[in-house]
Structure 1
Amino acid sequence: MRTNIPEFSASCILAICLFFSTGLKAQQNNISTKKKNILFIAIDDLRPELNCYGASYMKTPNIDRLAKQGLLFKNAYCQQAVCAPSRNSIMTGLRPDAMKIYDLGTFFRKTVPDVVTLPQQFKNNGYISETVGKIYHTGHGNQDDDLSWSVPSWNITESINNLKRVKRGDTIRLESSLPKINDKLLPYYKSNAPEEQMVDAVIADMATKRIQALKKQDKPFFLAVGFKLPHLPFVAPAKYWDLYNPDDIIVPKKTEPEGTSKYAFVRWSGELQKYHGIEQYKSEGYLPNELSRNLIHGYYASVSMVDAQIGKLLNALEKSGLKENTIIVLWGDHGWKLGEYGMWSKHSNSELDTRSPLIISAPDFPKGKTSESLAELVDVYPTLCDLSGIQKPGHLQGKSLVPILENPKAIVKHVAMSQYPRGKFIDTNKTKQEVMGYSITDGRYRFTRWQSYENPKLIIDKELYDHKDSRIDTKNLANSEKYSKELMRMENLLNEMLDKN
C-alpha cells in the first residue's frame, strides 16, 4: 500500500543536506571568527600593593572585581623600572637592549623605525585602534606614535586647556590649580575639587564615551586607556584620603640591604626632590616619619582614586553589552618604593621596582584565578595576538601567556629579566651608559650582574637575594660560600637569557 509521503529525488535530498550543512558551518564560523575587543588599561607607578594581591588594607574594589573576572599574575615583571623604556617594551614587544633606549626622552622610532607596535598590529588586522590618556611616555621631549592609532590620540593637555573655557552648568571641567610653595608643587594634596575635575576622571569620562561610540562601529576595537595616578604628585579628593587612617600606616625601616652593590639604588630620588619640602632633608639622607607617612597616605588615596575610574570603564563595558566579547588587560609600568630602605620612586633592579601588577580577563578562560608563574610585560603582545587569532610578528621577544590563562600552574619561562643603567652618558644620543645592570628572578632568588656597557665581559659587581620570606632585599648573598651554587645557577640562566636576546 502506497503512502502519501512525497517522494524526493536523490539530488533534491543532497541539496537539502548541503543547505543545512552550509548554514551550520556559517553559523559556527561566525562564532569562531568573531574578533574580540581589547581594553588595554595602563596605570602609572602602580606597585602590586592592592587588596587582590593580598594587601587587605587597600581599598581597591574595582581592580579586585576585575581580578575575579580573570587571572592575576603574582610574579609579573617590567623590563626596566622607569616609564618610557617599560612602556616601549610592552608596546613593541622588544626589550630595552633591542631598542638601545634606556632614557625617558628618546622616541623609539629613532632606533627601530619600522617596528610594528601592539596596537598597530591590531589596526593592521581590521581593528579600530584608539588611545585615551597616557600610554606612551610623551614627556621629556618624547612623543606619541601616530602609526599605532587609527585616529589621532586624544591630547589630554589640549583638551583640558579647551575645557578651561567651557562651563557645564556651574562647573569647569578641569583639575583645579594645585597649590605651590616657593614655586614648587606639594608632593601630596587632599583636594577639595570635585572628582570630575581630576585629570584621571576626565580620562575615564572620555574613555567611557569612546566605548559607547565604538560599540556602534562594525569593527572590533583596541582601546588603550592610560591613567596618570598614582604618579607624583599624590592628589586625590578627600573621600579617598578618608578611606585610610594615618595611624594605621606603617613607615618602612630605613635599612639598606647588607652588602648591597653601590650601583643597586639611587640614594636620593630626583623625581621626588623637585617637590616642596623634600630637598631640605637631602643632607640627612632620609625623610622624617611624619612626612613619609603623609606621602604613603597620598599614594594610597591616589590608588583608590584610580580604582574608582577603572570601575567606570568596567561599568561602561557591561552597560554597552560588550563585556562578554572583550579582553581586558590591566598593567602597571613598574613598581615603586614607598620608603623601603629609606628610598622613594623606582629606578633600580630591585624586586620592589621591577615587579608590576598584571591582570588579564579573557572570555572563555577560567575566572578568579591567580598564578605564581613568571611573566613579563614583554609577554603581553604575543598573548593578545594569540587570544585574538592574530598572527604574531617575527620580532617579538616575549612568550605567549595563554598556557597560563588555561592552567595557572603552567610555566612558560623559568626567569624574568629586567635591566637598569648606571653612570654618566657616554654619547651625544644619550642611549648608552657606562654600566648596565642585568637582573633576573626565578620566583625566589634575584640575581643582578653589573657590567661594562661597552665591554660586557668586564664584570663590575654581583648581587644575589633570597625572597623566600619577603620581597624586601635584606642581605647580598653573592659572596657567601653557602649560596655559591645558587649564584652559579642564576648567572648561567642570565647568560642564557642574554644569548637568546
Structure 2
Amino acid sequence: MKTQLASTTLHIFLICMCSVTGTKAQQTDTAGRKNILFIAVDDLRPELGCYGAGYVKTPNIDKLASKGVLFENAYCQQAICAPSRNSVMTGLRPDALNIYDLSTFFRTTVPDVVTLPQHLKNNGYISEAVGKIYHEGHNNRDDILSWSRPSWDYKTPLKNLKKVKRGDTTDLQSDFPKINGELLPFYKSNAPETNMTDAVIADIAVERLHQLKDRPFFMAVGFKNPHLPFVAPAKYWNMYKPEDIRIPERNDPDGVSRYAFARWSGELNKYHGISQYKTEGYLPDDLSRNLIHGYYAAVSQVDDLIGQLITTLEELGVRDNTIIVLWGDHGWKLGEYGMWAKHSNCELDTRAPLIISAPGFSGGKKSESLAELLDIYPTLCELSGTGLPDHLQGKSLVPVLKDPTFKVRETAMSQYPRGKYLKDDPTKREIMGYSITDGRYRFTRWQSYKNPDRVLDRELYDHHKGRIDLSNLARLKEYDTIVRRMEKLLNDQLAHNR
C-alpha cells in the first residue's frame, strides 16, 4: 500500500512540475494574452436587474452587463448541476459524456477529454479554481489534469471557525440551523458575513487574483448561493419587503405531458416544514413568500461578492485585460406551476443567465441570439487565441460579441431523463426527453432511451408572450405544421451530435 501511495504521489508531483515548467516555457508566447475570470453561480435564474427584473437588487451584475453582452436566450444542456457543469467544462453534451446524474465523475466516462481549464493550462495559462465549479463530491481537487495546482480549499476556514464557535449561538453557513434534525429551507443570518461560505470563497479568490495578476490566468470562482437552503445575512434580506414579493400562478400547462415535471423534488422536500404539504399539492403563500424572499437575498449577497472580485481586478490594474464570464448552471422554478427547483425541460429550468465582458468589444448590449452554455468553451478559446480542440460540440459566440444580432445557431437543445435506471446501464434512464427552442417555440419529445423510435409524448409551447408554458399546442391539430418543423430541427440536431 505504501509503495502504491508513493507511486501515486510521485505521479501527481511530476504532472504538477510539468505544468509549471510548461507554463514558464510559454511565458514569452503568452505576453499580452487576456486573463479570464470565470464566475459560476449555483441555481441562478435570469431574474436579475439587467434581465429586466428591477425588483431584484443586483447592481454589480448589472454593471458587468453594461460592460459586456447579455444573452437573453442562453440555455443549459440539462437542468441539474453535475451534467450542466460537466458539459460546460468539457465542451460535450450529456449524451457524449454519458452523464445524466449527480454522482458520475466525468473522468470515468471520458477519461481523456481535455477540459476548458486543462486546454488553457496547456497553452500557458495559470489555471486555478475555488468554490463549486464541478459538482460537489467531484470537486475540483479530483481533476488534477485541469488545474495548475489543486483547487483552493474554502472549507478549512469554516471548520476552524466552527471549532472556535462550538457551543455558542453563532450561526455559520457551514452549520445551518435545524429543527428536529431537519435543515431550515431559508434563514436570515446574524453571523458575520466573513464567516459564510461564499464570502470565504470570494476572499480566497481575491487573494489569488493578487498573486496571479502578473501572469495570464484562468481563475474559476464558483458561488454556492442561491442554492438551497437560502441563507444570507440580514442586510440582504432587508433589501426586500415581504409585501412586495409576488407569488406566481400555480396552474399546470393545459395538456402537459405526464413526463414534464417532478412536482415534489427531493431537493426541497428534505427541508423542515415542506413535506407536510405534499398531500395538498402546493406550498401556502406565507411559506412560498419566505422562500422567494430568501432566494432574492441570497442572489443579492452573491452580487455583492461578484462586485468585490471585479473591484479587485480594477485595483490591480488588470480589468481592461480580463475577460469576465458570468453564468448560472441552469434556471430554477420559484413556485411557478406550484413547483420548485429545476429537473425539467421547461423554459424556466433550461434558460440560464450568461454575460460575457471581453476587452475590445463594446458593452451594454443585449442579444436575442440563441446560445448554449456549451458555447462558453469555444468562445473562450477564440477570445484567448488558444485554438479550438477538435472534440468541442458548441459554437463560438464571438460573432455575437461583435454583432449582437448575429445568429450562430438555429436552435438550442436541452434534455432531461425520466423513469427508472436501466439494469444493464445505470448511467442511462428508461426515458429521455429532448427539447429544443427556436427562440419562440419550445418543442419536447419524450422517447424510449433504448428504442428512440418509440415516441411516448410530445409538447409544444409558444413563448412569444412570456416564458411560462401555458398550453401544450402539440395536441392541437392547427399546430401540426409547426410540430413537424420543430421535430425536424430536433432530428437534425441529434444527427449532428453523433
Normalized against structure 2, the TM-score is what?
Answer: 0.91
Correspondence 1:166-185 to 2 at 5 A: 175=173, 177-185=175-183
1:82 corresponds to which residue?
Answer: 80
Contact 1:463 1:478 in 2 (8 A): yes
Contact 2:35 2:217 in 1 (8 A): yes
Contact 1:137 1:143 in 2 (8 A): no
Mapped partners of 1:163, 1:178: distance in 2 = 14
Are residues 1:127 and 2:130 paired?
A: no
1:491 to 487, 490, 495: 487
1:160 corresponds to which residue?
Answer: 158
Contact 2:154 2:204 in 1 (8 A): no
1:233 to 216, 226, 229: 229
SS of the aligned residue for 1:318 comes to helix
1:194 corresponds to which residue?
Answer: 192
Deviation at 1:197, TM superposition (A): 1.2
Letter in 1 for 2:480: S
Letter in 2 for 1:268: W
Deviation at 1:32, TM superposition (A): 10
Deviation at 1:156, TM superposition (A): 2.2
- How many residue pairs end up in the alignment? 468
Deviation at 1:194, TM superposition (A): 1.3
Q: Unpaired runs of 5+ in structure 1?
A: 1-29
Are residues 1:282 and 2:278 paired?
A: yes
Q: Deviations over 1:166-188 (max 9, x none)?
A: 79xxx999646321101001000
Contact 2:39 2:325 in 1 (8 A): yes
Mapped partners of 1:143, 1:128: distance in 2 = 15
Q: Give the direction of change, closer, same or farther, for the CA distance of 1:31–1:366 in structure 2 (3 Å limit).
A: farther
Contact 1:107 1:142 in 2 (8 A): no
SS of the aligned residue for 1:272 comes to helix
1:273 to 258, 269, 292: 269
Deviation at 1:283, TM superposition (A): 1.0
Identity of paired residues, percent? 69
Q: Give the direction of change, closer, same or farther, for the CA distance of 1:193–1:44 in structure 2 (3 Å limit).
A: same
Contact 1:103 1:430 in 2 (8 A): no
Contact 1:465 1:476 in 2 (8 A): yes
Q: Give the direction of change, closer, same or farther, for the CA distance of 1:429–1:152 in structure 2 (3 Å limit).
A: farther
Q: Deviations over 1:411-444 (max 9, x none)?
A: 0001000000000011365311000000000000
1:53 to 44, 51, 54: 51
Q: Give the direction of change, closer, same or farther, for the CA distance of 1:176–1:477 in structure 2 (3 Å limit).
A: closer
Q: Give the direction of change, closer, same or farther, for the CA distance of 1:464–1:332 in structure 2 (3 Å limit).
A: same
2:305 corresponds to which residue?
Answer: 309
Mapped partners of 2:255, 2:462: distance in 1 = 14
Are residues 1:321 and 2:317 paired?
A: yes
SS of the aligned residue for 1:252 comes to coil
Correspondence 1:291-440 to 2 at 5 A: 291-427=287-423, 430-440=426-436
Q: Specify the structure having the higher radius of gyration (Cα).
A: 1
1:73 corresponds to which residue?
Answer: 71
Contact 2:158 2:174 in 1 (8 A): no
Letter in 1 for 2:154: I
Are residues 1:100 and 2:101 paired?
A: no
Q: Unpaired runs of 5+ in structure 2?
A: 1-27
Q: Deviations over 1:378-422 (max 9, x none)?
A: 000000000011111100000000000000000000100000000
Q: Give the direction of change, closer, same or farther, for the CA distance of 1:164–1:276 in structure 2 (3 Å limit).
A: closer
Contact 2:254 2:472 in 1 (8 A): yes
Normalized against structure 1, the TM-score is what?
Answer: 0.91
